[in-house]
Copies of this chain bind each other. A is one copy, B any other.
Amino acid sequence: MQRATLEDVATLAGVSIKTVSRVVNREPNVSPSTMERVSKAIKSLNYQPNLSARNLASQRSHLIALVYDDPSTYQMASAGYILEMQEGALRACKNNHYDLLIHPCNYRSDNIKQELISLVQQVRPDGIILAAPISGKSGVVKSLLATEIPIILLSPGKKLSGSYSIATNDLEISSTMTLYLASIGHESIAFVAGNSSHRAVSNRLLGYKKALETLKRPFVKNHVFHGDNSVGSGEEAARNLLGLKSPPTAIFAANDDMAIGVMRQARILGLTIPDDLSIAGFDDITLARLVSPTLTTVRQPLAAMAERAAQLIMDEKLRRECPELQIVPAELQIRESTRRPN
């Protein structure tokens, strides 16, 4: 199965290879008649451009690299978000004849910088989508920016000029969730904070605080438990919070894993959910709708965010016209684990 080249097509159509190239790339100024002749030749030879040659000549690869923290180094339970990002990025790719390269790398590794520079220099993707929490490593982002290809940060910690950031409104939506819990009658709402190395997570605590202000309720220090994002720390949080003299009637955790920990421990303590305790999480991991009762949580539109990121890479015009920080709003997912207190 020998592949046709531009030259084959050109010969068949009786034009120069450059003209064929024009047709293939939809460049302007090709007469309708030659256009048609060339198109026919392309079809009949089943011509497909060779990406490497095109890349070499044009300095574009039609490849996007998606970089995220390697889930294989830890538990895979909450890794559904990776598939969601992949899905969104791929959706955009398919529409534009791009392909997606995935490149998990270990967040804790010292040579991420080196690894990604190699990726850029060798493969030459047209852009990189950097997911949290790696998007928060400003050293990495900075050296990537020096390569002068578009860098799109997903849920980054901080803005870095030159890069584009796509984030959710963590703070606002956390406030909204807290207000929701208050609105259905909870007077005492506790919060399980996450590992604050991940900025987005710490914004969630700020959202909780903001809601309390809005409600003109005092911030009760021991109604906030600081966990580490794990299920285990959720369980610890539950033991702690539910052991208070006046325990809360609702617990809002900064991620679903911790919320599930809370749920598990609450049950062990003999509480029925949501009758005795309402629980809300954040992330909408796959498990959230599989546990029983299903978990009220916040859904980050990760697929949409990644799709947008890919579009930004593929479309230079779009990049010029859009702000460096774009917010794709998250949504409350009200499920069974929250309800009006008894």
Asked if A53 CB lies within 8 Å of chain B CBs, one says: yes
| A63-105 CB contacts (< 8 Å) to partner B | 63, 71-72, 76-77, 79-80, 82-84, 86-87, 90-91, 97, 99-104
**Which residues of chain B are near A97, meaning CB under 8 Å?**
122
Complex Cα distance A91/B76, Å? 16
Q: Which 6 A-B pairs have the closest CB atoms?
A: A48-B121, A52-B55, A72-B87, A52-B56, A52-B52, A51-B122
In this assembly, does A49 line the interface, its C-beta being within 8 Å of a C-beta of chain B?
Answer: yes
> A71-B83, A83-B76, A287-B290 given as contacts; is B99 within 8 A of A123 (CB)?
yes
> In the complex, which residue of chain B has the Cβ closest to the Cβ of A83?
B79
Given the contacts A50-B124, A90-B102, A122-B50, A146 and B1 also touching, CB distance less than 8 Å: yes
Q: How far is the CB of A108 from chain B (nearest CB, A)?
A: 16
A107, chain B: closest CB distance, angstroms? 15
A121 in contact with B56 given A80-B76, A102-B100 (CB within 8 Å): no
Residues of A within 8 A of B (CB): 1, 3, 48-53, 55-56, 61-63, 71-72, 76-77, 79-80, 82-84, 86-87, 90-91, 97, 99-104, 117-119, 121-124, 146-148, 286-287, 290-291, 303
Cβ of A53: which chain B residues have Cβ within 8 Å of it? 52, 56
Interface centre among A3, A61, A83 (most CB of B within 10 A): A83
> Looking across the interface, which residue of chain B has its beta carbon closest to that of A292?
B264
